[in-house]
Amino acid sequence: MILIRWPTPNWVLKVNHILEKEKIPHQIIPTPRELDPSCNLSILIAETVLEQTVQLLETNEVPVDGLLKVNN
């Protein structure tokens, strides 16, 4: 799984809408405290949809600079 994070949950909101519209499966989760001690949200996607997701985010001018491969 790939965890994507942003500085604020506002980006998560926008990305959630984009992924729902394109029917890309994803999960909204709290950002693990090891990555961000403040309270924030992240999105989990399968590796199989990473390329498609990154392209969509670039098309929609969503900055992508927080990608992390996670076990679950």
Partner 1 sequence: MLLIDLRGLPCPQPVLRVKKALEEGNNSLEVIIDNETALNNILRFASMKLKTIVNEGQGKTLFLSSRYLGKGDDELGELLMKSFLNTLLQTPILPETLVLMNTGVYLACDENCYQPLKNLEELGVNVLVCGTCLKYFDLESELKAGKVSNMFEILEYLLLRNVTTL
Q: Contact between 55 and partner 1 (CB under 8 A)?
A: no
Among 18, 29, 49, 50, the residue binding partner 1 under the rule CB under 8 A is: 29
List % helix, strand, coil for the chain (3-state, nearest 5): 35, 20, 40
Residue 45 has phi, psi (to 5 degrees) of -135, 160
Q: Contact between 20 and partner 1 (CB under 8 A)?
A: yes
Among 2, 3, 4, 12, the residue binding partner 1 under the rule CB under 8 A is: 12
Q: Contact between 50 and partner 1 (CB under 8 A)?
A: no
Is 2:51 a contact under the CB 8 Å cutoff?
A: no
State how far the Cα of 49 lies from the Cα of 30, in Å rounded to an integer. 21
Point out which residues bind partner 1 (CB under 8 A). Answer: 1, 9, 12-13, 16, 20, 27-30, 41, 71-72
